[in-house]
A = this chain, B = another copy of it.
């Protein structure tokens, strides 16, 4: 058995980012930049007004002065002339400051007539003017390669005049559920069997992690069927199997994939839930073999599949984000397996949440898993803790998981 940290490190070390593709700007949201974005223009392209008012020469603008309004400069329609002594140009937010003007008289500080404006408050030179290039200059790198694009980044890329982006391809993840006992929802259920939940939960999780899931037909517990389905996944950036990873007689994934050229790296991790986890390679395709039971499969996904998706997507890949919480119940001493207790979060003292573990942590309970808001981390050999002691938790809510 290897540790959670070592397992994640080995998985990440074996993966590289997908090649890049060219997408139109609106398709870039959530994708990882493969090339930096350099601004194709200077923003603002000239000195512009930050407010609605009058472009003026500050020296003229004393309280009580009256200026002649000689034109207008709305955004997009620059004034072609020059502002001379005693003159003003009506200007609007984003309008280019005309030649000769060095300040903006706010409209609330002015009283307009048909062709003049009365100054009610003096203006300072440079005030309310946004200088050329205040935001960015042409040629400047505004977004770096390796960044997952937010909505704000899409806005910045647009402002920098970039209609196309080079982003890493969304990793295509083959998902293979195995087992004689499983049926698709709505299909007839074999006697003693259960409905397949892993494949669709994992597909949603892959989507939440920015990947592109490909659900392969359910493979019965039969070497040939598994091998055939696995061949279909060779076009994927990673194959995720579920079930068939434990030590029982019916653990066929390993034996089935062997003749197909499967090279095992490791298959046991010192953790709970989820000890049996296969990691290896089928030809060129990395294979992550998750445990068959849904809770173990999901916890392993949070710890290993999401970081793997990040790495394939062009990010470094990192352990899941943790936050500080307080134990909402007494916790027993832990054994040598890293434990992940399903818990709800409640507001606690001083803004630190209370993480309340479910009394029954059985790894078959989907309902408990769905209700959980966090996983309480219990390191190997962690001492017993009393209610209220600080603990580290992985919050599950924000990830769409």
Task: Report if A36 contacts B (CB, 8 A).
Answer: no
Residue of B nearest to A186 (CB): B163
Cβ–Cβ contact B197 & A159, under 8 A: yes
Chain B residues lying within 8 Å of A400, measured Cβ to Cβ, are: 29-30, 150-151
- Count residues on chain A whose CB falls below 8 Å from chain B CBs: 99
* This protein's copies in its complex: 2
Cα A186 to Cα B204 in complex, Å, equals: 35
Cβ–Cβ contact B192 & A246, under 8 A: no
Task: Report if A81 contacts B (CB, 8 A).
Answer: no
Cβ–Cβ contact A192 & B75, under 8 A: yes
Chain B residues lying within 8 Å of A239, measured Cβ to Cβ, are: none
Task: Report if A265 contacts B (CB, 8 A).
Answer: no
Choose among B159, B164, B197, B248 the residue that contacts A156 (Cβ–Cβ < 8 A): B197
Cβ–Cβ contact A75 & B180, under 8 A: yes
- Chain B min CB distance to A106 (Å): 11
Task: Using known A-B contacts A77-B192, A161-B185, A364-B135, determine if residue A201 contacts B151 with beta carbons closer than 8 Å.
Answer: yes
Cβ–Cβ contact A370 & B186, under 8 A: no
Task: Report if A179 contacts B (CB, 8 A).
Answer: yes
Cβ–Cβ contact B366 & A208, under 8 A: no
- Chain B min CB distance to A243 (Å): 9
Please give 6 more A-B residue pairs, beta carbons under 8 A apart, in addition to A30-B400, A156-B366. Answer: A75-B193, A76-B190, A94-B364, A155-B197, A155-B370, A162-B186
Interface residues in chain A, defined as those with a beta carbon under 8 Å from any beta carbon in chain B: 25-26, 29-30, 41, 43-46, 50, 52, 74-78, 90, 92-96, 107, 130, 134-136, 142-143, 149-164, 179-182, 184-186, 189-205, 207-208, 215, 221, 246-250, 292-294, 298, 323-324, 351, 362, 364-370, 372, 396-398, 400-401
